[in-house]
Structure 1
Amino acid sequence: MATRGVSEWNAFPPLWQILWHLGIAVPPPPFLGFVTLATLSGGLFGPLFAFAVWVLENRRYEGMSGERALWIALIGGAVFGLIMAAYYRHLGRKHRLGSWSAFPAPGLRP
């Protein structure tokens, strides 16, 4: 992908490196479909974001309810997932990457 102008950070983001290290064979983000990418990135970001907000809010006196943290996870994950999916689909079209199965670097597949 580097020969087509895609940076290594975008081609192999840290979350994907963790998934590959765990043995989960998932194509790099520019090769995933919109819904899959939105679900994967939003589904992992939402709970982490909500937990961070919950920890920071509970340092105050009034604290945060679990229900509010759940809503933050759902909304934050959905927004982040949609933005990341749109960005990576745009990146794939911009660099004309095609499909992962047709990509000419089989040695780099996880």
Structure 2
Amino acid sequence: MTFDEKKRRAVALMEEKKMWRSNYAPPILRLLWKWGVEIPPPPFAPFWLNMLFFGGFFGSLWGVIMWFTIWRSEGYSALTALQTSFTTGLLFGLFTALFHYWRRRVNKLPDWNSLR
């Protein structure tokens, strides 16, 4: 089974369970899919991948926005800004990964590798 076939099957299962599209196919993930990146939908992705993907995306975007809007004018050092962005991204990634793990359990979704 190809990635696209598995993705269509996974999306159909999640729609069947009445899950919100924004939870199982956020806009950034849909963009990556269009570019050919093969990342499973978050409820089917491994915990570490969700944590890395969401934490990395959020932490870096949030850090850049905070640097140019607040931190630079308040005299934060670049190192402090990076540490704060990393910690924030780590926490955001952890809680988002926990959320998607919980949604997979609640909706009794199969594992990505056993999806047919």
**2-structure distance, mates of 1:34, 1:59:** 34
Q: Flag the structure with higher helix content.
A: 2
Q: Give the 3-state SS of the residue equivalent to 1:31 in structure 2.
A: coil
Q: Report what 2:106 is aligned to.
A: 94
Aligned pair in 2 of structure 1 residues 59, 36: CA closer, same or farther (>3 Å)? Answer: closer
Question: Could you tell me the percent identity over the aligned residues?
Answer: 32
* 2:47 is aligned with 1:34: yes
Aligned pairs for 1:1-110 (under 5 A) are: 1-58=14-71, 60=73, 62-103=74-115
TM-score where L is the length of structure 1: 0.84
CA RMSD of aligned residues (A): 1.6
State the Cα deviation string for residues 12-41 of structure 1 (Å, max 9, x = none). 111211211221011000001111110111
- 1:23 maps to amino acid: G
5+ residue gaps, structure 1: 105-110
| Conserved? CA contact 2:71–2:81, under 8 Å | no
The alpha-carbon deviation at position 71 of structure 1 amounts to 0.8
- 2:84 maps to amino acid: I
**1-structure distance, mates of 2:41, 2:112:** 8
The alpha-carbon deviation at position 100 of structure 1 amounts to 2.7
- 1:89 maps to amino acid: Y
- Is the deviation greater in 26-35 or in 4-13? 4-13
The alpha-carbon deviation at position 74 of structure 1 amounts to 0.7
The alpha-carbon deviation at position 101 of structure 1 amounts to 4.1
TM-score where L is the length of structure 2: 0.80
**1-structure distance, mates of 2:34, 2:75:** 37
5+ residue gaps, structure 2: 1-13
